[in-house]
A and B are shown apart, each in its own frame.
Chain A
Amino acid sequence: MSMTTRTAHRVSRISTGVLITLLFGIPLAYVLMISFQTPTQFIRDPMSLSQGPTVSNYSAAWTQGDLGQQLMNTVIYSVAAAAISTVLSLLIAYPVARRLVRWHRWIYISFVIGMCLPIPVIPLFVQAQRMHLFDNRIGYIVLHLEMGLPLGVLLLTAFVAGIPEELDHAALLDGSSYLGFLARIVLPLAWPSIVIVFLYSLLGVWNDIIGPIVFLASADLFPVTRGVYQFYGSNTSAWTTMSAAIVIVSLPVMTLFIVSQRQLLRSTLGAST
């Protein structure tokens, strides 16, 4: 490669870096900065911290917004729904991938269709009321179980199909039960895929905003999405407190992302090939 093309490459690489940092970094950094501004600073000069940083927005957001309770609700809903949904995905994916049932092809196709079609929220609302799933914790979790299934079944079927079948026979000769076999042989092998399925289901439930609005009515059951959205509705111009609330509710899921980003991105990279 010649000197000029090498320089051109470097310039284009650096300019892309700057562009992406501006495009994604600035909005996030700006919200972080606002969360440390005093309300008068935000009105007079929203672009700086000249009046000095303050943490009072954080205590205000925490006490006004009931964020502790809502974060707890979100964690309960998303961890429970994602965990059960991941287990169900494996329970479906294994027999389908091994072609142990006659209808394996149709089961697979129905999940492909499920992946493309959205879940209609209107009949689910009617179902929630008829099945006593409306406005309670268990019901909210049950209503979210299906959301992670299509992706989970498709990913895990592909994974199980890649595990050599000899392992099954070896384990069956050992006299393992089916569940014991799944737990001791398949689960450790499929662990990276299991984690991905779990994380994507978790994010789906964690970030759902329509679900909490349609399926819940009592304020003490609200997850953070509805909590922070409602907070915005009743304090439209209180942006400093709002920003602190945004930072607080984002911290747990950002921490989880930073810990798992390597796996999450690698699996997404592989999805298109």
Chain B
Amino acid sequence: MYIGLFLGLAVFAAFGVLPTAANILISFTDYTSLPGTGTSFTGWSNYVAMATTQLPGFMDSLKATVIFVVGVTVIQNAIGLMLAHRMQGDSRSAAVLRVLCFVPIVLGVTVVGLIWLLLFDPAGGPATSVFGFFGVQSAFFGSDSLAMPLVITVQVWQNLGFTTVLFIGGLKAIPASIYEAAALDGVNAWKRFHKITWPLMAPSVTVNILFAVIGSVTTYNLIYVLTDGQYGTNTLGMLAFNSAFGATADLGYGAAVTTVLFVITVILALPVAALLRGRERRILG
């Protein structure tokens, strides 16, 4: 038993805990993967570079991250809630729709990203035809004004199924008898939603919002496929990745940006941790 537990925890320590600690260490160095260069500790210089914009882009990235996180969280949850309300039934068609909106999660970011690049190909995709019909031209994912809204749209499209299914779970947890009693009393639809559904599905709302926030703060794989962080979509995760693995090969600076991202995530994740600890108390006693 101890050997099994030890094996599992060793993997967690080596590839979960160690990288997290190493990331902080690397952030205080000028580590680069360019050949023939040594590494030395440079103190807070990477963090100073961020704050003083010696290296361009940190403030822009911070702004892009805020827009991305707020946009994704609000839109994903609003649409998810609307869809869940109407897709919770036991009918066959509701089941088919639930499966359909889960498909992007299964297809993954690469395929989803490529599908949307095809749909919005400025050289002759369907969006170009449709917009051209109205006399509008755009570079879409290559446009400073449209790239971020489109990236948010695709991110929402990618994860909407998960949000919707979580909301359906929350709705299903509400006993049908409450609605029956309300119907007998002649309570109207808005009041039923406002006074019964909304308060009783609160746990699933909390989970969904926190998951959307934490998920979108750090994610950059879809952005990597769609724009590689260009045209105002260079979120902090994307900036860290491109600093380290782009032309500059500046792993130290990338690690420093990642550390800042950690701090932001921890602050945002504390409510989730509290929530899951409550769950843990129910499970482990």
Contacts and interface: CB of A to CB of B under 8 A. Distances in A.
A170 interface: no
B86 A12 contact: yes
A186 to B, nearest CB: 12
A228 B97 contact: no
Q: Which 9 A-B pairs have the closest CB atoms?
A: A207-B108, A91-B4, A123-B22, A146-B15, A92-B8, A116-B269, A272-B204, A88-B8, A272-B169
A150 to B, nearest CB: 8
Contact of A249 (B25, B103, B111, B214): B111
Contacts, number: 265
A120 B103 CA distance: 28
Interface centre among A89, A228, A232, A258 (most CB of B within 10 A): A232
A79 interface: no
Interface in B91-115: 93, 97-111, 114-115
Interface stretch (B50-58, B64-72, B117-125): B117-125
B234 interface: no
Q: Is the interface of B mostly helix, strand, loop or mixed?
A: helix
B19 A120 contact: yes
B102 A265 contact: yes
Contact of A203 (B11, B12, B108): B108
Contact of B26 (A94, A99, A122, A143): A122
A258 B25 CA distance: 45
Contacts of B11: 88, 145-146, 149
Contacts of A92: 4-5, 8-9, 12
A207 B110 contact: yes
B258 interface: yes
B157 interface: yes
A89 B11 CA distance: 10
Contacts of B106: 203, 253-254, 256-257
Given A25-B100, A88-B11, A125-B244, A112 B87 contact: no
A111 B284 contact: no
Contacts of A256: 106
Interface stretch (A26-34, A50-58, A187-195): A26-34
A31 B126 CA distance: 11
Given A153-B8, A209-B109, 13 more contacts: A23-B101, A27-B115, A34-B118, A116-B214, A116-B266, A126-B31, A146-B16, A206-B108, A232-B114, A237-B123, A257-B102, A261-B99, A261-B102
A249 B7 CA distance: 34
A111 B15 contact: no
B26 A269 contact: no
Nearest to B125: A46
Interface residues of B, number: 99
B73 to A, nearest CB: 15
Interface of B: 1-2, 4-5, 7-9, 11-12, 14-20, 22-23, 25-26, 31, 33, 83, 86-87, 89, 93, 97-111, 114-119, 121, 123-126, 129, 157, 162, 165-170, 172-173, 183, 189, 203-204, 207-208, 214, 218-221, 224-225, 237, 240-241, 244-245, 251, 254-255, 258, 261-262, 265-266, 269, 272-273, 276-277, 279-280, 283-284
A125 B114 CA distance: 26
B90 to A, nearest CB: 12
Given A47-B126, A114-B16, A179-B4, A203 B105 contact: yes
A144 to B, nearest CB: 9
B115 A28 contact: yes
A269 B129 contact: no
Interface string A61-94: 0000000000000000000000000001101101
Nearest to A145: B11
A246 B106 CA distance: 13
A16 B83 contact: yes
